[in-house]
Amino acid sequence: WTGPWALGAVDVELWRGTNFVLGLTNGLVAAVSNMTWNVVLVSPLPTGRDYWVMVTATNNSLDSAVSADFIILNLNLPWLDLLLGR
């Protein structure tokens, strides 16, 4: 996020191509003043190459930014589940 002022609370959405997937959080405030936010995906999502995230200022829907496309992989590796104790 770039701009002259620190951004307060944000809403974070996950998209795939032109399709809205899910709202990741609403009204999330940055833990520190460097305007970074951490969001965890808790549900399995289909493997795909065209996912992206939109971050919007909670108090101003015209103030937003989007990520570059990224890949989500669902490897489904049983040995990894055992290693991680899942």
**Rounded CA gap, 77 and 31, in Å?**
34
- The answer, yes or no, to whether residue 78 has pLDDT greater than 60, is no
Give the contacts of 48 (CB within 8 A, at least 6 positions apart).
16, 71, 72
Q: What is d(CA 33, CA 23) in angstroms, rounded to the nearest whole number? A: 23
39 vs 54, more confident: 54
Q: Under a CB-based contact definition with an 8 Å cutoff, are residues 23 and 11 in contact?
A: yes
Q: Quick: pLDDT tens for 13-34.
A: 999 999 999 998 888 886 666 6
Mean pLDDT, the chain, whole residue set? 77
